[in-house]
Amino acid sequence: MNIMKVKDYCRQIKGLINRFLVDKFMLDRRWVQNHIANCPRCQRRVMLLGKVELAISLLKSQPHRLDLLMRANTQAIGVLKHSLRSATRAEMLRNVRPEPGFFERCARYKRSFANAAACIAIAFLMKASVFSSGQTFESEAGKAMKHYYASQAGEDIARDVFTTQV
Amino acid sequence: MAGRTVSIELLWDVAIPKSLEQTQGWVLCAMQRYGRELVNMLWRILGSEQDVCDAYQDTFLKLAHHEHGCKPENVKAYVFRSASNIAISILRHRVIENRHSSRIPVKSDMSSPAGELDTRNLMEALRAGITELPDHLRDVVTLHDLGDLTYEQTGRILGISAATARVYRCKAVRLLAARMRKENT
């Protein structure tokens, strides 16, 4: 139990230190940017790091032919056992083409979905607030009536009338 | 008696291929499930379609022959690590060949704007740099940056935490930057 507490405590401290470092030393902080603007060494460092990131994004964005997956599958299946080569799934893999996933296909409808969801949420909230206002109005009106009966006809009669109604 | 033997033999003949198909069917399942991601990763590491096909073939051949056809505990981890290792060894051979052959690419003039924009040289420099990284850093770069896996997935595959994967990636980028600087001077 104590070990768990210590672990939680460590995690909290780690989180705090991390947040502090992110707050103070991120590249977009003004003092860091001022320093980089005046320090040739840091400029070179940042430039080189940026170049590596650029090279990585270039590698990622380099397109290949659409039939590459099909060709790779065909070549790989060709060296597997006969039972696997003749399987129906193997035939399907030989003709497969890279297709966007479900979420990628739905990405263009993202905005419409978001708008529709927002509309539904607003309608729901409006409906809920209308009903709750109605209930509040009813209970307040009931209290006022009870009070009126109590003042005009007496407490006992008012209690009898309103308890039998409930 | 003879009839009985024949029937048993027939049963045996039918049973073996069926069981083989059942036991090795997961190879095709893995191909179907991870093929697209693997091809993307291999393409980014190697940049040559023939090399991608060769590395992909070797990966699944290795998977099919893993411990006499037994399924690995974590197929995804096995497949991704194998593919990454095979691709890196192909890339190393290529870098060595380029270095020793007469087809050494002319070093670009990085100080000029034209040289800066020479994307091909930049990508080749990065690929060469990745082959020289220590194994633990290289694995993170290939799986996270080139394989498009998250830090959590990368950590799970390599048996490290996501935070460690993040630190390794940071170190790898620093080393790659240092190597690029050395190349430029």
Of residues B20, B31, B44, nearest to A83 (C-beta):
B20
Ramachandran class of B161: left when φ > 0, alpha when ψ lies in -120 to 50, beta otherwise: beta
The residue in chain A having the minimum alpha-carbon distance to the alpha carbon of residue B52 is A72
Residue A27 forms contact with B (CB below 8 Å): no
In this structure, the answer to whether residues A73 and A56 fall within a common structural domain is: no
Amino acid letter at B96?
I
| Contacts of residue A84, Cβ cutoff 8 Å, sequence gap at least 6 | A77, A90, B21, B24, B25, B27, B28, B64
Total number of domains in chain A: 3
**Which residues in chain A have Cβ-Cβ distances shorter than 8 Å to B181?**
44, 48
Per-residue pLDDT of chain B (185 residues; tens, 9 = 90+): 444 544 444 444 444 444 544 567 888 999 999 999 999 999 999 999 999 999 999 999 999 888 877 888 889 999 999 999 999 999 999 888 887 775 555 554 555 555 555 788 888 889 999 999 999 999 999 999 999 999 999 999 999 999 999 999 999 999 999 988 887 76
User: Which pairs with CB-CB distance under 8 Å and at least 24 residues apart come from B62-71?
Assistant: B62/B86, B63/B27, B63/B30, B64/A80, B64/A81, B64/A84, B64/B24, B64/B27, B69/B23, B69/B24, B71/B23, B71/B26
Of residues A51, A55, A81, nearest to B24 (C-beta):
A81
Look at B53 and A71 and tell me if their CB atoms are within 8 Å: yes
Of residues B28, B176, B180, nearest to A84 (C-beta):
B28
**Which residues in chain B have Cβ-Cβ distances shorter than 8 Å to A79?**
57, 60-61
Q: Which of B69, B79, B74, B101 is nearest to B31 (CA)?
A: B79
In this structure, the answer to whether residues A50 and A74 fall within a common structural domain is: no
**Among residues A99, A119, A146, which one ends one of the domains?**
A99
**Which residues in chain A have Cβ-Cβ distances shorter than 8 Å to B122?**
51, 54-55, 58
Please report which helix (H) or strand (E) contains residue A96, including its range: none
pTM for this model (two decimals): 0.68
Q: Cβ(B157)–Cβ(B81) under 8 Å?
A: yes
Question: Residue A92 in 3-state DSSP?
Answer: helix
In this structure, the answer to whether residues A72 and A31 fall within a common structural domain is: no
**Which residues in chain B have Cβ-Cβ distances shorter than 8 Å to A89?**
25, 28-29, 32
Look at A71 and B125 and tell me if their CB atoms are within 8 Å: no
ipTM score: 0.76
Which pair of tokens denotes residue B101?
């052959």
Please report which helix (H) or strand (E) contains residue B144, including its range: none
Q: How many CB pairs under 8 A join A and B?
A: 121
Domain hosting residue B121, numbered range: 2-184
Domain hosting residue A8, numbered range: 1-62
Residue tagged 């420099």 (tokens): B125
Q: Which of B127, B48, B66 is nearest to B95 (CA)?
A: B127
Which pair of tokens denotes residue A47?
């430039």
pLDDT tens digits, one per residue of B2-51: 445 444 444 444 444 445 445 678 889 999 999 999 999 999 999 999 99
The residue in chain B having the minimum alpha-carbon distance to the alpha carbon of residue A44 is B181
In Å, what is the CA distance from B50 to each residue of A61, B46, B55, B88? 19, 9, 9, 15
In this structure, the answer to whether residues A56 and A1 fall within a common structural domain is: yes
**Which residues in chain A have Cβ-Cβ distances shorter than 8 Å to B121?**
none
In a domain, A104, yes or no: no
| Contacts of residue B77, Cβ cutoff 8 Å, sequence gap at least 6 | B156, B157, B158
Distance of CA A160 to the CA centre of its chain: 55
Question: Residue B32 in 3-state DSSP?
Answer: helix
Provide φ and ψ at A87, rounded to 5°: -70, 155
Total number of domains in chain B: 1
In a domain, A115, yes or no: yes
